[in-house]
Amino acid sequence: MNDNKDWFVSWFDSPFYHILYQNHNEQSAKDFIDNLFKNLTPQYAQRQPTSSYRILDLACGKGRHSRYIAQKGFDTTGIDLSENSIQYARQFETDNLSFFQHDMRKPFRINYFDYIFNFFTSFGYFDNETDNLLTLRCIQQGLKKNGVFILDYFNSDWIRQTFKSDYIQTVAGIDFSIQKRIEGAYIFKKITFQANEQTYSFQERVRLFTLPEFEALFEQAGLTIGNIYGDYAFNPFDSKTSNRLIIKAYKNK
């Protein structure tokens, strides 16, 4: 049983995390990135060569998004709290791709990046609410003037509507027993399974941020929200029907 205060430290470093979520594969990552850059391109078209743009993949995991972004020619950096994920990702480093273990609540390169991306609901984990604002301020500091931040989060309204409390998910021969509950502004997911003749149990805890809450946080952090999208095809956001909340914001100082 994992009883660490910061649940994400041990869970994200566990090989079972990557087994459970392995359906988020390389092709889905590529499709999302292709759609993302189709959306971003008009802003920077004909301004400068692709290779001169610096991009940070914040909470990059094993680097599946970072690798494809680098293949497009961008100067790409991936950072993640998980030591195991970064050790894995480093085998793919190239002249324009590098990885570092780093806590997103701490500054990382000031006024440096043209884009910072935070994908797959890799935010809202912290027990201390002030850490959410601290993270956004670190993102703001890391961007160049007029730099762009993309946050990919679940739509909390959609999560509440489609909530399923208990189910079994079998992946790679492992039966993951999933128990979910919503308490106030948080969704909890308890994950129990047997592997290697042992019983494991982890718990996820993620903040159910609403769009108005994000708007308030972004304003405090010095980020101006531009476009808001509701899925990975970048259709407009609808609070009742969209399964994602994808925010495009700019450094305004």
Structure-token pair, residue 203: 């718990």
- How sure is the predictor about 1, in pLDDT bands with cuts at 50, 70 and 90? very low
Q: Are residues 187 and 221 in the same domain?
A: no
Distances (CA, A) of 242 to 23, 24, 52, 184, 236: 20, 19, 34, 21, 8
Q: Is residue 245 pLDDT above 90, yes or no?
A: yes
Same domain, 224 and 194: no
Confidence of residue 92 (pLDDT cuts 50, 70, 90): very high
| Distance from the first to the final alpha carbon of the chain | 45
One domain, residues 195 and 220:
no
Q: Count CA atoms closer than 13 A to 80's CA, side-chain side.
A: 28
Residues 118 and 49 in one domain: yes
* Average pLDDT over all residues of the chain: 90
1 falls within a domain: no
The boundaries of the domain holding residue 169 are 159-204
User: Which of 22, 108, 21, 26 is CA-nearest to residue 71?
Assistant: 26
Burial (CB count <10 Å: 0-12, 13-18, 19+), residue 214: buried
Do 189 and 215 lie in one domain? The reply is no
Nearest residue to 55 via CA among 123, 154, 150, 120: 150
pLDDT at 41: 66
- pTM, full prediction: 0.89
pLDDT > 50? residue 163:
yes
- Single-letter residue type at 245: L
Query: What confidence score (pLDDT) does residue 44 get?
Result: 52
Residue 247 sits in the same domain as residue 123:
yes
Whether the predicted pLDDT of 129 surpasses 70: yes
Please write the tens of the pLDDT for every residue from 19-59.
887 766 667 788 899 999 988 865 554 556 677 899 999 99
User: Same domain for 91 and 199?
Assistant: no
Task: For residues 85 and 185, state if they share a domain.
Answer: no
Q: Cα(83)–Cα(9) distance, rounded to whole angstroms?
A: 9
Residues 235 and 142 in one domain: yes
**Whole-number Å distance between alpha carbons of 231 and 32:** 10
Q: Is residue 2 part of a domain?
A: no
Residue at 142 is within a domain? yes
pLDDT in tens, 219-235: 999 999 999 999 999 99
Per-residue pLDDT, averaged over 185-205, amounts to 93
> Is residue 91 domain-resident?
yes
> Residue by residue, what is the 3-state secondary structure of 131-162?
HHHHHHHHHHHHEEEEEEEEEEEECHHHHHHC
Report pLDDT for 48: 62
Beta bridge partners of 203: 190
CATH number at residue 41: 3.40.50.150
Rounded to an integer, what distance in angstroms lies between the CA atom of residue 185 and that of residue 182? 8
The helix-helix angle for 130-142 and 211-221 (nearest 10°) equals 50
Residue 252 structure tokens: 């305004």
Looking at residue 47, what is its pLDDT? Answer: 58
Q: Would you say residue 192 lies in a domain?
A: yes
What average pLDDT does the segment 87-107 reach? Answer: 97
Instruction: Specify whether 164 is located in the same domain as 134.
Output: no
Which residues, other chains included, contact 75 with Cβ-Cβ below 8 Å and sequence gap of 6+? Answer: 51, 52, 53, 54, 55, 96
Let me know whether 177 and 220 are in one domain. Answer: no
Do residues 85 and 171 share a domain? no
Say how many domains are in the chain.
2
131 CA to centre of own chain: 15
